[in-house]
Amino acid sequence: MTTPSSDALLQRRYQTLGEYSPLFYDEPLHFTSAQGTWLTTAEGDRYLDGYNNVPQVGHCNPRIVEAVAAQMGTYNVHSRYLNDVSVEYAEELLATFDESLDRVYFTNSGSEANDLALRIARKFTGNRGVIVTDFSYHGNTTALAELTTGLAVSEARPDYIGTITIPDLDFADGAAESDLRQQALEQVDAVIEELEAAGHGLAAILFDPVFSTEGLPRLPEGYIDGLLQRVRAAGGVVIADEVQAGLGRLGAYWWGHQSMGIVPDLATLGKPLGNGFPLGGVVTRAELMDSFSSENMYFNTFGGSPAASAAGRAVLAEVRERDLLAHSAKLGEVIKRRLQEIANRHPEIAVAKGTGLFFGLALLDAEKNPDPHLAKAVVEGMVRQNILISKIGPADNILKIRPPLVITEEEVDLLLTTLERVLDAALAQD
């Protein structure tokens, strides 16, 4: 709800941050406090957070707040001094990965992590080519703008970036699963051939294990194995971008790639890692670190600072002690069932998507085409009911629901009951 004070703030924002700095929703929300899964506006209205994965263990989680404050009040030094906290955090973080992934570079953001992962991959393989999906986002540096396919960038896409389409069993037009897999893998072969013919070779595939921006596709069995096998056969490495899929988001797993049963060569981390305190990282093998860092001096002044590492340690402790992986898996099953019930009530226009605490509905029109207008009506309808969600996908027609992991079953019930009501109302208006 806009008010005179939020209007004035918006004008001041335009005058300073500019009119292009994106905001969610038709009427921007102005929060002034938050706790757990709830945010409160300047006027005292409360909103249920069904969207944010930065406050993974809850907004203003007291354990994180206290850990950061205590560390900031004790010492917080440049990463080029010895400190206990960063090493303890590195040990604890690496323990959540496959044992082959035994080194970490700390960064401040997902973009820094992906940018560094590309440098490492290119140095290790001696190749330049990178494969991404044809609707993806991995960050905002120059190198990442070159490979952005999922939002507006003015940078031209160089010919060392190859793009592939991720197959989705939910929208296969009746094709058999094996045919869908085969076609998609043939496209991978063609892209690798092109990169090789152009003399770039293949350095890496960079992908988000939940394919969020792409719209949470349901993959054909064996597709990922076939994809990664082709990448590796061509000499490329595998970079799993865990910025959205990671830290318990997909249910019983620490990391999204673990839910796929794969081990990447590099995993890039961001958003939820510090629960709002800037913290990201690149987890990899010593072999890749040696190849890169023996010839490149990489340091990151703030990355994994004692304060950031204190936040990271507190987040890991919260996930462990509150058993949030099991919670995410358990609620994920409840949500899957409920979403399917909603989809069954609207078989023509709704398809249930997602897994764990990353879920949504693909919305279609009567001709079974993506319906971004309906998706927008639902997102705006939800926010009018004080629940935050968003939308994703190449056609912008897939509801994106990705609450903090600490959401309760009652809150999930409120979210989904409201979603049903808002969807019915939006359909009645259509």
Which is nearer to ligand PMP, 111 or 355 (by Cβ)?
Answer: 111
Element (H, E) at 203: strand 202-207
Q: How far is the CB of 210 from ligand PMP (least distance, A)?
A: 9
Vertex 352: Cα angle to 238 and 416 (nearest 5): 115
Q: Which of residues 306-365 bind ligand PMP (CB under 6 A)?
A: none
Rounded Cα gap, residues 78 and 69, in angstroms? 17
Judged by CB under 6 A, the stretch of 18-26, 118-126, 152-160, 237-245 that binds ligand PMP is 237-245
- CB 270 to ligand PMP: min, Å: 4
Q: Smallest distance, Å, CB 385 to ligand PMP?
A: 25
Whose CA is closest to 256, among 354, 323, 181? 354
Q: Which is nearer to ligand PMP, 114 or 149 (CB)?
A: 114
**Whose CA is closest to 192, among 131, 132, 124?**
131
CB of 151 to ligand PMP, least distance (A): 10
Distance between CA atoms of residues 294 and 334, nearest Å: 49
Is 187 in contact with 165 (CB distance < 8 Å)? yes
Cβ closest to ligand PMP, residue 315 vs residue 426: 315
Nearer to ligand PMP, 53 or 125 (CB): 53
Task: Tell how far CA 57 is from the center of its chain.
Answer: 15
Q: Which residue number is nearest to ligand PMP in terms of Cβ?
A: 110
Per CB under 6 A, which of residues 154..213 are in contact with ligand PMP?
208
**CB 295, min distance to ligand PMP, A:** 26
Concatenate the DSSP letters of all residues of 68-84 into one string. Answer: HHHHHTT----TTS--H
For residue 191, give both structure tokens.
């892209």
In this chain, which of 36, 270, 274, 381 binds ligand PMP, going by CB under 6 A?
Answer: 270
Helix (H, G, I), strand (E, B) or coil at 150: coil
| Closest distance to ligand PMP from the beta carbon of 269 (Å) | 10
Closer to ligand PMP by Cβ: residue 128 or 138: 138
Answer whether 305's CB lies under 8 Å from 77's CB. yes
Which residue's CB is nearer to ligand PMP, number 270 or number 312?
Answer: 270
Q: Which of positions 388-407 make contact with ligand PMP (CB under 6 A)?
A: none
Stretch that binds ligand PMP, among 41-49, 241-249, 386-394, 411-419 (CB under 6 A): 241-249
List the one residue out of 190, 188, 198, 185 whose CA is nearest residue 129: 198
Q: State the nearest-atom distance from the C-beta of 26 to ligand PMP, in Å.
A: 21
Paired with 391 in beta bridges are 399
Q: Is 53 in the site for ligand PMP (CB under 6 A)?
A: no
> 101 to 160, contacts with ligand PMP by CB under 6 A?
109-111, 114, 137-140
Using the Cα atoms of residue 104, residue 107, residue 113 and residue 116 in order, give the sign of their dihedral.
negative
Question: CA 341, 346, 351, 356: dihedral to nearest 10 degrees?
Answer: -30
CA distances from 426 to 352, 373, 398, 413 (A): 18, 10, 15, 20
Q: How far is the CB of 390 from ligand PMP (least distance, A)?
A: 11
Nearest to 355 by CA among 278, 428, 249: 249
Size of the site for ligand PMP (CB under 6 A): 14
Tell me: does residue 241 bind ligand PMP (CB under 6 A): yes
Stretch that binds ligand PMP, among 239-247, 390-398, 410-418, 419-427 (CB under 6 A): 239-247
Amino acid letter for position 371: D
- Residues in touch with ligand PMP (CB under 6 A): 109-111, 114, 137-140, 208, 241, 243-244, 270-271
